[in-house]
Amino acid sequence: MDTKSTKEGKNEAVSKGVQKHVPKTEYAEVTGGLLTVAIFLGGVFGLLTSIFYYSQVSVFLLPFIFSENMTLYSFLLIVVFAPLGEELMKVMPGVFLETEEELTFSPFGWMILGIGSGLGFTLLENMLYGFSFVSQFDWYGGGLLLLARFLLPVHMLTTSIASYGIGAWKETVDRKYLALLFVAMLIHAFHNLFALFVGV
């Protein structure tokens, strides 16, 4: 009897047994409570973006204001810097919940949290735009413009894409999924370019 072959067979059997008992990652369920927190945090991070991020960007873009090149200023602010900063901030609720609550979400769970965060961000942004629209037009015109913004839920779409990418990257450690964050920024940029063009 070949002792070496017997040992190799036993080692292979043990190896297979170990592989069968490797514990799978247990993902946390995205409950209604967690989704509510994500919606709330989406608004909070949206407010922080408005106060701190845009104040710094505006300082950086001051030369364009002084040169009265408002077209380029608006393009850089709305089409370049807004998608960059906002998409990075809108995935923060998922990061916050995983870190503070010591939870692990699946890519799909991340996507759901991203939709919630995007909704919170949308509610805050549309509230701010609502005041602006009503002051520029009237209640009827401002309401129609606000309705148009609600019918284009770009923040929920882009944040779900970016969040799924982060969740898939955390699960697989494959950096190619991070490209979804840039896809989200690109969609956001084209949306803002269209809004800038039509004046909404």
**Look-up: residue for tokens 């204001």?**
65
pLDDT of residue 13: 47
pLDDT of residue 19: 42
DSSP string for residues in 108-136: HHHHHHHHHHHHHHHHHHHHHHHHHHHHH
pLDDT of residue 82: 93
Does a structural domain hold residue 25? no
pLDDT tens digits, one per residue of 119-134: 999 888 877 776 666 6
Does a structural domain hold residue 5? no
Does a structural domain hold residue 95? yes
Name the stretches of the chain with pLDDT < 50.
Answer: 1, 3-4, 7, 10, 13-23
Q: Number of structural domains, the chain?
A: 1
pLDDT of residue 55: 84
pLDDT tens digits, one per residue of 132-170: 666 666 666 666 666 766 777 899 999 999 999 999 999
Print the domain residue range for 193: 33-198
Does a structural domain hold residue 127? yes
pLDDT of residue 145: 66
pTM comes to: 0.79
Does a structural domain hold residue 19? no
Does a structural domain hold residue 107? yes
Does a structural domain hold residue 22? no
Number of Cβ atoms within 10 Å of the Cβ of 67 = 10
The Cα–Cα gap between 194 and 56 comes to 25
Does a structural domain hold residue 18? no
